[in-house]
Amino acid sequence: MSVLVDKNTRLVVQGITGSAGGFHTRQCMEYGTNVVAGVTPGKGGQKFDDKVPVFDTVAEARAQTGCNVSMIFVPAAGAADSILEAVDADVELVVCITEGIPVMDMMRVKAQMAGTKSRLIGPNCPGIITPGAA
């Protein structure tokens, strides 16, 4: 089995300013995960907990921080678009925590991910961890 997250992980959190995104981002940071950016449209320029820069798009976050893993905490209605936004920005690993995403939305995601370098864990997953590493 491959190690998907490690000391080289540079995490962007999509939905970082929401309650679930904020809570789990703090948990990740306490564990030692390198959270380099957050994305919430319309909130670019802010800082999450006075530490993590927030961008309007994943493409902006990737260009500024080199993030290579995305963790998604957005409502089900927007989750598929958030996944595809990360894929379009060439994020290597996308972890979608969101549950209840419509099946047809995920079929669209699967079709559009074909041939990309991105991998998807989820949706409706508890996340991913490598003990002692990230």
Q: What is the pLDDT of residues 43-80, one digit of tens each?
A: 999 999 999 999 999 999 999 999 999 999 999 999 99
Alpha-carbon span 77 to 56, nearest angstrom = 18
Structure-token match 């390198």, residue found:
34
Q: Between the CA of residue 87 and those of 36, 39, 69, 113, what are the distances in Å? A: 18, 14, 10, 7
pLDDT of residue 69: 98
pLDDT beyond 60 at 1: no
pTM of the complete model: 0.94
| Residue 9: pLDDT band with limits 50, 70, 90 | very high
Sketch the domain layout of the chain as residue ranges: 11-121
Look at the domain 11-121 and name its fold: Rossmann fold (3.40.50)
Task: Note whether 82 and 72 are within 8 A (CB).
Answer: yes
Alpha-carbon span 26 to 127, nearest angstrom = 14
| Residue 132: pLDDT band with limits 50, 70, 90 | confident
Task: Note whether 76 and 99 are within 8 A (CB).
Answer: yes
